[in-house]
Amino acid sequence: MTTENRTAVVTGAGRGIGRAIAEALGSRGITVVCVSKNISSCSAAAEAINTSGGKAKALAVDVSSGAEVSKACAALIEEFKNVDILVNNAGITRDGLLLRMSEDDWQSVIQTNLSSCYFWMKGLIQPMLRKRWGRIVNIASVSGITGLPGQINYSAAKAGMIGLTKAAAKEFASRSITVNAVAPGFIKTDMTSNMSEGETANEVLSRIPLKRFGEPGEIASLVTYLCADEAGYITGQVFTVDGGMVM
């Protein structure tokens, strides 16, 4: 699989799915910029890649801030000349029923999960357009396809990512830049740790034909393929990795 001599930016790379994606890309010879709001977490991810023989650097950015992302993109382009791969994975949850949800809980999730994709794509797309090659993968969620009660903000943000993916894929296709989305189901991460056992887990597992939670590496494997030359005829698609929840 062709991936060498390329540079990737992975947001939310400090833990869970983002870290698994960063490490998978790094293991294939890609220079990975591990982005996280927390410098210690993205530094740990970058160190793990470097220790394994790859090439990575850490970059602390608040992805919900357009100004911070714009500054980071300019610095990355100056350093690397272009970024070939962008994986928008950063995300947060602020769950609650609509009637009880504060405006801050709504805005923070929309800004971090959805607006951040717009910020990074706008900041890094020009060199991809000039090079006529690029890969953008947005990590959405089955919540954005089916909607989940108690996750109005999260579901809306992830559904927005899917719409953004499809529109951008059409805008950039003439320059051989692909834009796809991966929609995980219930994956073993910090975000799902509170439902890994007991009645909640049993209720969730009853909706999953494969009867288990997924592993971060199972998301990373698909993302890695979508970032390769071999996936050059795939764009504008949404891939669910959910054990069969959405069929």
pLDDT at 40: 96
Q: Indicate the burial class of 27 (C-beta count within 10 angstroms; 0-12, 13-18, 19 or more).
A: middle
Helix or strand run (H / E) with residue 125: helix 116-131
Distance CA 139, CA 13 (A): 12
The residues, ordered by sequence, that sit 6+ positions from 247 with a Cβ below 8 Å of its Cβ are: none
Domain ranges of the chain: 7-240
Number of Cβ within a 10 Å radius of residue 186: 22
Known catalytic residues are: 154
pLDDT at 5: 83
Q: Regarding predicted confidence, which is higher, 205 or 237?
A: 237
- CA 174 and chain centroid, separation: 24
Q: What is the pLDDT of residues 104-127, one digit of tens each?
A: 999 999 999 999 999 999 999 999
* Percentage of the chain exceeding pLDDT 90: 90
Distance CA 169, CA 171 (A): 6
pLDDT at 190: 75
Q: What is the C-alpha R_g of the chain? A: 17
Asked if the 7-240 domain carries CATH number 3.40.50.720, the reply is: yes
